[in-house]
Structure formats: structure tokens, C-alpha cells
Amino acid sequence: MAEVAREKKLPVDDKIHTWPHLVRMEFLVTLFVLVALTLWALTVDAPLEEPANPTRTPNPSKAPWYFLGLQEMLVYFDPWHAGVVLPSLIIVGLMVIPYIDINSRGNGYYCFKDRKWEILTFFLGFHILWITMIMIGTFFRGPGWNLFWPWQKWDPHKVVALTNVDLPYLVGFRDYWWSAAFSLVMIGIYFIATIALFYFFVLKVKGKAFLERWGLVRFSITAVLISLMLALPAKMALRLLFNVKYILVTPWINV
């Protein structure tokens, strides 16, 4: 009986004509947005400052707002990492989403229950990390890239004590080789721990059958991307709580 009722509820063909239904909607939305954009353009002028002068660097020099998340990451990582490696990883990480997400639920409709962890991961990456970093870079950074409240006057002579030290130094290592060895061990432990935690987490919330279906390649890619993504808040925490500058210092790269 229930089967029959369900069949009745879902029509075989639920299609409607594009003209007029979709075209009318697009036309009205287009009209509305164009009017809004025109009004906005009439009331707010695009900025134009004084002519370009390569000899006068403004303080602070800010990238366009959509890149301020990357500029903000420069506080915590060196440029090769924050400016090149992490953005590339963000792009690659976004691209592989359809290939590592094999959950067949929620294809083409809104649902939170069946895709809780996927959506929360996206939320962490996009809203918490990306958007928050842009907000901080846009509204809370002043001269010298120091932190200011939006209502606070920008003081170009604000004195901020540079008390950051490298992690091996903080723990007590003074010798270069011992420091480097300690750093590499710590980085190794970080990755092994996050990947292991991720493994057991997936095992717990998704089950063994899912892991087998997921396969080693998909699991590895996801695990590495997740631990790299979590490295940002981890480094931020180390910096903000313990004034750690670098975790690993070598003549070539610092992390």
C-alpha cells in the first residue's frame, strides 16, 4: 500500500517548460540586480587615489580584499608557503572534492543529516578559515600589519614586542642539528597523528565498509589535505599562544 502511495506522489515527468517559467525568473532577477547595481554605482564611486608612485610605499599595503586571506596567512607562514604552496593546495583541494566524496546521498538536493561531515569540512575551510582571514585582513590590520580594532586610530608608531622564537628554541634546543632533528620529528608526529586521528574518526562515524569502499588512494589524498588544512589553525594557535615563529628552520626553507 505504502509503495503505491509513494509512486503516486512522484510523477514520472516533473518537467515544466523553460519558456516561460525559467526565462521569466531569469529576466526578473536580471532586471532587479541590474537596477540594484546601477543604483549602487550611482551612489558609490570607485576609488581613485593619487597617481602611482613607486618610491612611496603606503603603510599598510594591502592586496585586493579577496586575496587578504592569503596576505593574512603570511603572518604565520613564509611567502613560499602561504603565497604559493597553500593557494595551489586550495585549488587542487577544491578540484578533487568530487573524486574523494563518494557519498551518493545528497546528490541534487539540500540535506545536512546524510552529509554532516562533508558540509562541516567545507564550512571549516571556506567560512571559518578563508572568510575569517579575509575579515581580519580587511578590518583588523593597520600599519606594520599590526592588529587594530576597526574604530581604533591607526598608529604607525605602535610598538609591538618581537618575542617570537622558534619551536626547538622554546623547548630548549640550542644546537642546529638537534633542533632540526627535533623539528622534523615534531612535523612527522603532527602528520602521523592527524592522519591516524582522521582514520579512526572516519572508522567511527562512517564504518569499516565505507573505508573499504573509499579505498587507499582517496583516503590518503583526503587525509593529507585535511592535515595540511588543519596545519593553518595549528600554526596560528602555536603563534598566538606560545609565540612560536617557526617549527622548522633550515638554510633553505622555514616552516
Partner 1 sequence: MAFLDQIKKDIVESHVWKSIFRHGYDDTPRNRVMMVTSNVFLHLHPAKVRRHAVRMRFTWCMGGLTFLMFLVTVVTGIYLMFYYRPVAEYAYADMKYLDNDMPFGMLMRNMHRWAAHAMIVFVWLHMFRVFLTGSYKPPREFNWVVGVLLLVLTLLLSFTGYLLPWDQLAIWAVTVGSNMARATPLLGYEGPFADFVGANPIYDARAFLFGGGEIGPHTLLRFYILHCIFIPFVASVLMAVHFWRIRRDGFSGPSL
Q: Which of residues 12-71 bind partner 1 (CB under 8 A)?
A: 12, 14-23, 25-26, 29-30, 33-34, 37-38, 40-42, 44-54, 56-58, 61-67, 70-71
| Separation between Cα atoms, residue 250 and residue 255, nearest integer Å | 9
State yes or no: residue 163 binds partner 1 (CB under 8 A): no
189 near partner 1, rule: CB under 8 A: no
Please identify, using beta-carbon distances, which residue of 27 and 242 lies nearer to partner 1: 27
**In 3-state terms, what secondary structure has residue 181?**
helix
* H or E stretch covering 41: helix 23-43
d(CA 90, CA 101): 16
Stretch that binds partner 1, among 11-19, 181-189, 203-211, 221-229 (CB under 8 A): 11-19
Site for partner 1 in 85-104 (CB under 8 A): 85, 87, 91, 94-95, 97-99, 101, 104
Residues 125-154 that bind partner 1 (CB under 8 A): 126
Cβ neighbours of residue 194 closer than 8 Å, sequence gap 6 or more: 223, 226, 227, 230
d(CA 96, CA 125): 14
Beta bridge partners of 141: 147
Closest distance between partner 1 and the C-beta of residue 11, in Å?
8
34 vs 196 by CB, closer to partner 1:
34
